[in-house]
Amino acid sequence: MRFGYSETCLDHDTGPRHPETADRLRAIRRGLAKRHGVEYVDAPPADKSTVAAVHDADYVDEFESFCAGGGGNWDPDTVAVEASWDAALTSAGIAEWAARSALDGATGRDTPFSLGRPPGHHAVEDDAMGFCFFNNAAVAAQAVIDDGLAERVAIFDWDVHHGNGTQDIFYDREDVFYASIHEDGLYPGTGEVEETGAGDAEGTNLNVPLRAGAGDADYALSFDEAIGPAVERFDPDLFIVSAGFDAHRHDPISRMRVSTEGYAMLTERVRDVCENTDAALSFVLEGGYGLDTLSEGVAIVHETFDGRLAMSPDEDPDQKNAELVDTVRDVHGLGSK
């Protein structure tokens, strides 16, 4: 894969006791160092106006002043220093690079993956939250739509947390489809099945809130029976994966049981849907707080594009989760199984 990466993102210093640290990117780089065919691209920061295409201009100014004044705690979880402004613009810029590069034809072994931080999917239109300041995937999606490079963008968020920010930003938009698999009841508490989009955008927002303890088979079922068919029906020009790795069974902050192999399995499924719909494909890093599982997760996505075949889940889906997926199919008019 081609990884968007910038040293600028290391300067966003969240302090010694925070799970979202620069060590996450260092661990990913170490994990990729042993792999074949890894390429790094140093992408430029996003323009402030590009960020303000999805965020409230007053909020963007406020965050800029906050950083210029030395930063601090924006909220109890969300911390910035002076360098966080440049890091946040760069994190958004790398995601934008990945989207543009995918639409420019980068595919297969050249598939782009942006390794930026701070992460983005909790950032709403006019506020930072959950370690996120700018919604990197949303900035990227909007930038390519505004430039006429894509008419329709699908974002699939496999981070263990619901991407409330991405959902909010595009909730009334017919041209952006947002789908999430997340742990029910976890931060930030949004992401119910009934949240399906507003007005004419009804049906362009799809949530699968799986029960704590869900594993590879539950994720495979959610994708095969709900997200995959819904994305194929939506028929995007660009498919962005909001790729967090905190649903891993050894991640310290969730109770899900996805294995490293599970991320390969999801990657293959995403790639197949993109082939079926002729959509460009890019990845954007979100969460993932176990340094080993995070680096293994990114590496196995890379290896999947380097020719490695994923194994099938070795257990059956949980019955309650299967019923939930049936409900999602029903709510989204995908028919009953």
Q: Which of 335, 322, 249, 331 is nearest to 290 (CA)?
A: 249
Q: Which residues contact 272 (CB under 8 A, 6 or more apart)?
A: 228
Of 93, 197, 236, 287, the residue at the interface with Zn ion (CB under 5 A) is 287
φ/ψ of 174, rounded to 5, equals -75, -20
Tell me the angle at which helices 260-277 and 291-305 cross, rounded to the nearest 10 degrees: 40
Residue 244 near Zn ion by CB under 5 A: yes
Secondary structure (H, E, C), 238-282: EEEEEECCCCECCCCCCCCEECHHHHHHHHHHHHHHHHHHCCEEE
Nearer to Zn ion, 31 or 244 (CB): 244
- Which stretch in 64-72, 88-96, 237-245, 294-302 sits in contact with Zn ion by CB under 5 A? 237-245
**Quick one: 248 or 302, whose CB is closer to Zn ion?**
248
Instruction: Output the residue with the shortest Cβ distance to Zn ion.
Output: 287
Q: How far apart are CA 102 and CA 287, in angstroms?
A: 22
Nearer to Zn ion, 225 or 246 (CB): 246
Size of the site for Zn ion (CB under 5 A): 5
List 157, 159, 225, 251, residue binding Zn ion (CB under 5 A)? 159
The secondary structure of residue 316, as a DSSP letter, is P
**Closest separation between CB of residue 160 and Zn ion, Å?**
5
Build a one-symbol-per-residue string for 187-226: x at contacts with Zn ion by CB under 5 A, - elsewhere: ----------------------------------------
Could you tell me how many residues make up the chain? 337
3 to 122, 294, 310: CA distances (angstroms): 22, 15, 21
User: If binding is defined by CB under 5 A, does position 246 make contact with Zn ion?
Assistant: yes
Does residue number 161 form part of the binding site for Zn ion (CB under 5 A)?
A: yes
Residue 130 interacts with Zn ion (CB under 5 A)?
no
Q: In the annotation, is 36 catalytic?
A: no
From the CB of 161, what's the least distance to Zn ion, in Å? 4
Binding footprint of Zn ion on the chain (CB under 5 A):
159, 161, 244, 246, 287
Residues annotated as catalytic are 122
